[in-house]
Copies of this chain bind each other. A is one copy, B any other.
Amino acid sequence: MSSSTDYKFEGWAGYDAKSVEGNLKFIEFEPKQFAEDDIDIQIMYCGICASDTSTLSEGWGPVGDMWPQVVGHEIVGKVVKVGKDTKNGIKEGDIVGVGAQCDSCLKCHYCNKDQENYCSGGWVPTYNGKFNRTSKDSKSYGGYANYWRGPSHFAIPLPKELDPAEAAPMLCGGGTVYSPLVQFGAGTEKCKNVGIIGLGGLGHFGVLLGNALGAEVTVISHSSRKQKDAEELGAKHFLVTGDDEAKAFKGHERSLDLIICTSNAPEMNMAAYLSLLKPQGNFIFVGIPETGKLPEITPGQLIFGNLHVGGSLIASPQQLKDMLQLCADKNVKSWIQRWSMDKINEAIPSMIAGNARYRYVLVNEQNGGKL
């Protein structure tokens, strides 16, 4: 190996779309060449995100020459190697987290204003991507592994108050809802009422973080099955759609400033959902449906309501720092179930079956992770 370390990079790799059915294989892999702004992390925890399974299953499209790949982008671990130009004040022994993005050009307009997640040309995903700023064309390898290597700019030191296992899924799942919450001012006068569609991994963070920011959160869900959880997470209202959203939302028109849609499907009754928004309201998609289709929207409804339908992609490193600090300050705790990483081929099918309440976190006990 060219990494000139006394540890090997090993992880659970998918070789084809069937890997998602519990066929990941433990392999040794070659990380990127170590650059002076990189760090190596001994991975203690990694959350299982729906992006991982949509990538492995090729639900978002063929993965091509990225096989074999090690997914996972909710990584927490201990820093075991730092370069000369390490960022974020990181030093060996620190506990840090890495989310869904592991590099950007670091020089464009957006990178310069803390919007690396909308970088104009150098976005590298934590897996299923290739580096291009340093170690050009090396594949990026994610967190279903024992070690991670990558740019320290995208590694966030964890506040000491946080349980590192609970922090792991905040790095993607939490940030993905935190970003639009703060973009639209959740909790401020202009955005008091926030709706969260779908109470899954992202949705449960929507409630926790919306609540922590001071917004009044309404969960919108297909059935009342998760109502008690929603309330315990901090939701003030719970709307059950059943199979008739229009009927379910009668009397709730113009009650929300922002809706974050964590669960979307082309057959959603958008007219009904949009009726929930106040004028100037925003309906924000954060999850990319595997169909690639948006539900049907009529321009008249956007115009008459001064409504906006948009999207938001993960969070910037600065937003991740702010979110983790908020969680430390407000004692926000993710709801997780821990799985030994050795049981990954059981954990993934169980997660796909919808059993997580609300995030599975893989644990590397040999690296200090606690089951």
Contact = CB atoms under 8 A, between A and B. Distances in A.
Interface in A272-305: 279-280, 282, 285-286, 288-289, 292-294, 296-305
A49 interface: no
Given A120-B254, A279-B110, A292 B303 contact: no
A333 interface: no
Contacts of A285: 299, 302-303
A88 B304 CA distance: 25
A310 B311 contact: no
A313 B309 contact: no
Nearest to A123: B304
A337 to B, nearest CB: 28
A43 interface: no
The copy count of this chain in the complex is 2
Contacts of A286: 303
B312 A306 contact: yes
A298 B266 CA distance: 11
Interface string A80-121: 000000000000000000000000000000100001011010
Given A118-B305, A279-B115, A306-B311, A297 B294 contact: yes
Interface size class of A (residues with CB under 8 A): 35 or more
B308 A303 contact: no
A172 interface: no
A113 to B, nearest CB: 10
Nearest to A309: B309
A208 interface: no
A320 B122 CA distance: 44
A307 interface: yes
A264 B286 CA distance: 26
A264 B298 CA distance: 12
Interface string A142-184: 0000000000000000000000000000000000000000010
Given A300-B311, A308-B311, 19 more contacts: A110-B279, A118-B306, A120-B254, A282-B308, A285-B302, A285-B303, A286-B303, A288-B300, A292-B298, A293-B299, A294-B298, A294-B299, A304-B311, A304-B313, A307-B310, A308-B310, A309-B309, A309-B310, A310-B310
28 contacts: A110-B279, A118-B280, A118-B306, A120-B254, A183-B280, A264-B299, A285-B302, A285-B303, A286-B303, A288-B299, A288-B300, A292-B300, A293-B298, A293-B299, A294-B299, A299-B311, A301-B311, A302-B309, A302-B310, A302-B311, A303-B311, A304-B313, A305-B311, A306-B310, A306-B312, A306-B313, A307-B310, A308-B308
Interface of A: 110, 115, 117-118, 120, 183, 254, 264, 279-280, 282, 285-286, 288-289, 292-294, 296-313
